[in-house]
Amino acid sequence: MAEKKYYWLKLKRDFFKRHDVRIIEKMPNGKDYILFYLKLLLESIDHEGALRFSETIPYNEQMLSVITDTNVDIVKAAMNMFVELGMVEILDDSTIYMNEVQKLIGSETAVAERVRKHREKLKMLPCNASETNSNTEIDIEIDQEKEKKQDIKETSASASAKPVRHKYGFYKNVLLSDEDLEKLKAEFPADWELRIERLSEYIASKGAKYKNHLATIRAWARKETKPDAKHVGSNSGNNAEIESGIGWNRVL
């Protein structure tokens, strides 16, 4: 028959004079908090300071309320306070660890080793909320910068896919891209400006619309070179003469 083991809790004589205990005791419901704390110590003493319902199920606040016969609201408020004051630790697997018990045992147990490793892991994280917020803000700024660069790339790609056309002529009715303008200058070096003005004036007077203004100017030029063609857009020509030289690329 296995020998039955007995566990007991040794409190130091100055337990109720400790700063953390005195602070808690002076709070509203403070004495209930201290009583709840002592009950947790007793529950954990035979588990090396660890509190857990089973290997797969950790204690929640309602369960702690039942096993200690403590109001659940007292449990919620007290647990938050114990963690904040360093009297209790919540491990990665939600195990509750009572720091007081390790002092009573006097040697590092398996559970205490887990707690030590847990603390070492926490040291590698930002030590306070301000640093965490700062890191979060940096991450947000990096993401925003990436989004800006992506927008610039998309805008550039869109611009390269469809060249921007600028307005030319006295009435600003002729639309030509930079490439169109260079082609126009090369094809009509002597009077390219005059040809732009003719088209601009005609659009202003007739409200005509064309898909491609460079193609329209070229079409007018071809009409002018025919032997029986009337001079399109000349000073002596009238609207009927102009219309006889158009029709190419016109939007109906």
Pair of tokens at residue 183: 């082609």
pLDDT tens-place string over residues 192-232: 999 999 988 988 888 888 889 988 888 888 888 776 555 44
At 88 the three-state DSSP class reads strand
- Look at residue 165 in the predicted model and tell me its pLDDT: 86
**Locus of tokens 């930079």:** 178
- Cα dihedral sign, 80-83-88-91: positive
- Look at residue 245 in the predicted model and tell me its pLDDT: 43
Asked whether the predicted pLDDT for residue 237 surpasses 80, the reply is: no
Domain 15-123: top CATH class: mainly alpha
The span from the CA of 64 to the CA of 33, in Å, is 13
- Look at residue 228 in the predicted model and tell me its pLDDT: 59
pLDDT tens-place string over residues 37-57: 999 988 888 788 888 898 889
Pair of tokens at residue 104: 């009573």
The span from the CA of 222 to the CA of 234, in Å, is 15
Domain boundaries, the chain: 15-123, 165-244
- Look at residue 241 in the predicted model and tell me its pLDDT: 41
Asked whether the predicted pLDDT for residue 238 surpasses 90, the reply is: no
- Look at residue 6 in the predicted model and tell me its pLDDT: 55
